[in-house]
Structure 1
Amino acid sequence: MLSNAARFLMVSAAASLVALGSAPAEACQEIADEALDLAAAQTPLASGAALFTLIQKNVWGYSSSDLGVLWGSPSPSSAVYYDNAVDLIDVIGTAAGDDFTPITNIANIAAGDVLVIDATGTYSGHTAIVTGAPQQINALNPKIGTDTQWALPIVDSTTSVHGCSTIFADDRFTASAPGSCTGTFRGGVGTAFMRIYADATTGALTGHTWSVTSGGTFYAQSGTTYPVRSFVIARQQSCPLL
């Protein structure tokens, strides 16, 4: 189990960066705590969606039948979690929108929220657990208009490293030399950071990159100018839902 001090260090990357205020009280901190424990244990899981599913089973004792009632599947994919989060689907027998509340402003993201990227025709989607408040960074390439950029601390399960930043590191990556972007990567559950873009005036979420590394591919929420991989920051409406 991780100590409180260790958890704090994981989500406090650099003192020179601007950090947001304290997390809203209604966020499910239990989700972030369990995610960090699974990361510390280097739990082998096939996907980020499987990670969120396991967290629900571990924290609240959900069975596969319970998950089927909540999400319409005993083993939900990222696409299923996304559709629930944006209310494209609602499970029969439950009230509409009774599972997730979308968090649409960068200032309101908190530990215990769930980041879900929707699937596309060539991409299966992804799910990650937010473990702390986003931290504003000096803009890196690609720069998108006047959008602000934020480093978001997460836990996920993946076989693709979240970049090679030494400040916003993926703890599954071991560089071959200090500062090198070549090295070895351990797949499975671990801590990392993703980069979130937000409108400089309204704080609305506009896109993301997989890592906080200069030159990473920017994915927009919508439109035709940039490749699109829509994502949502979703908050459970109660802890637990059942």
Structure 2
Amino acid sequence: MTSIFKKHIAFSALALSAFCIGTAQAENYLTHANFAEKLISFVQPTNNVYDSNPTIVTWAGINGAAIYQNRSTCSPFVTRVIKTAYDISDTTYKNWFDSTSPSSSQYHAAIVAQNHFQRVMTVEGIQRGDLLSINYLPCANKDTTGHMMIAMSGAIKRTVDTAPIIAGTEQYDISIADSSSSSHQATDANGKIYKDTRGEGSGAGMGTLRLYKDKQTGQIAGYTWTVSSASVFYSINSCRVIAVGRLQ
């Protein structure tokens, strides 16, 4: 099984340690999730921008960087986090994914094909560090190919499902990290507030995504961007298809 670990990197604040990714145990492949959380915790708002011209994602003290900085869109953010966490070269990444910086659709295809990923089909099977990829099909009429996120927790079943309620499904909350033009902050139909580190802003941050589970199969049935009742539900049969993968 392929390892993407090459050198030891440590942050005392989070007690990070580098390791081999090819294990089913969540605690053994958390380095990239920890790197994402570290960046989001320390980057200053003026240095946190949703943009790709150029893409810059840095950690103070790593690779000569003096500050924490994010200037990225969703997929490049995830790529920079993974590359930095495990010291992966552009050449290796291109060999794996046919790109030094894969798009959301390329990540989605790799997850579905289980190319350097173990696909996670069930909601309860998601663990911290898993990648959530949304592929925008042509019918979505979007300028981008999709969206990428890093799971920062397992999925937690909601005490009470709120609108939109989809027959035959159950709802789950999951903490994610991403770089986005809009945050996941919202208030659900019961008045519970789900905060996002960006507030209502953009850039890199952590917030809550709502997942839906098919009651019969236990598999992921779809998602909404936030827990708001106005948030649109996208099923796995819609124009915006979600897939979850674990790095291998």
TM normalised by structure 2 equals 0.73
Give the Cα–Cα distance (whole angstroms) in 2 for the partners of residues 163 and 186 of structure 1: 9
Q: Output the amino acid matched with 1:111.
A: R
Match of 1:151 among 173, 189, 212: 173
Q: Output the amino acid matched with 2:247.
A: Q
- 1:127 matched to 2:144? The reply is no
Q: Which residue of 2 aligns with 1:142?
A: 164
Give the Cα–Cα distance (whole angstroms) in 2 for the partners of residues 115 and 54 of structure 1: 16
Say if 2:96 and 2:115, in contact at 8 Å, map to a contact too.
Answer: no
Q: Which residue of 1 aligns with 2:214?
A: 199
Give the Cα–Cα distance (whole angstroms) in 1 for the partners of residues 172 and 222 of structure 2: 11
Task: Identify the structure with bigger relative contact order (alpha carbons < 8 Å, sequence gap 6+).
Answer: 1
Structure 2 residues without counterparts, runs of 5 or longer: 1-10, 15-23, 44-68
Say if 1:156 and 1:191, in contact at 8 Å, map to a contact too.
Answer: yes
Q: Output the amino acid matched with 2:151.
A: V
Give the Cα–Cα distance (whole angstroms) in 1 for the partners of residues 12 and 132 of structure 2: 22
Deviation of the 1:159 alpha carbon: 0.9
Helix, strand or coil at the partner of 1:62: coil
After superposition, give the CA deviation of every residue in 1:127-148 in whole Å (9 maximum; x if it has no partner).
0000111111111111000310
Give the Cα–Cα distance (whole angstroms) in 2 for the partners of residues 151 and 103 of structure 1: 16
Give the Cα–Cα distance (whole angstroms) in 2 for the partners of residues 210 and 101 of structure 1: 24
Q: Which residue of 2 aligns with 1:76?
A: 102
Give the Cα–Cα distance (whole angstroms) in 1 for the partners of residues 213 and 207 of structure 2: 20
Q: Which residue of 1 aligns with 2:74?
A: 48
Say if 1:2 and 1:40, in contact at 8 Å, map to a contact too.
Answer: no
Give the Cα–Cα distance (whole angstroms) in 2 for the partners of residues 81 and 109 of structure 1: 17
Counterpart mapping for 1:63-212 below 5 A? 63-87=89-113, 97-121=114-138, 122-123=141-142, 124=144, 125-137=146-158, 138-165=160-187, 167-173=193-199, 185-212=200-227
Give the Cα–Cα distance (whole angstroms) in 1 for the partners of residues 12 and 109 of structure 2: 32
Deviation of the 1:41 alpha carbon: 2.8
After superposition, give the CA deviation of every residue in 1:205-242 in whole Å (9 maximum; x if it has no partner).
000000122221000101xxxx43111111012xxxxx
Q: In percent, how many aligned pairs have the same letter?
A: 26
Helix, strand or coil at the partner of 2:124: helix
Comparing both structures, which one devotes a greater share of its residues to strand?
A: 2
Deviation of the 1:82 alpha carbon: 0.6
Match of 2:233 among 218, 229, 233: 218
After superposition, give the CA deviation of every residue in 1:149-174 in whole Å (9 maximum; x if it has no partner).
0011000000112142364221101x
Deviation of the 1:34 alpha carbon: 1.1
Give the Cα–Cα distance (whole angstroms) in 2 for the partners of residues 107 and 50 of structure 1: 27
Give the Cα–Cα distance (whole angstroms) in 2 for the partners of residues 228 and 71 of structure 1: 23
Say if 2:168 and 2:215, in contact at 8 Å, map to a contact too.
Answer: yes
Structure 1 residues without counterparts, runs of 5 or longer: 5-23, 88-96, 174-184, 238-242
Helix, strand or coil at the partner of 2:240: coil
Give the Cα–Cα distance (whole angstroms) in 2 for the partners of residues 2 and 208 of structure 1: 35
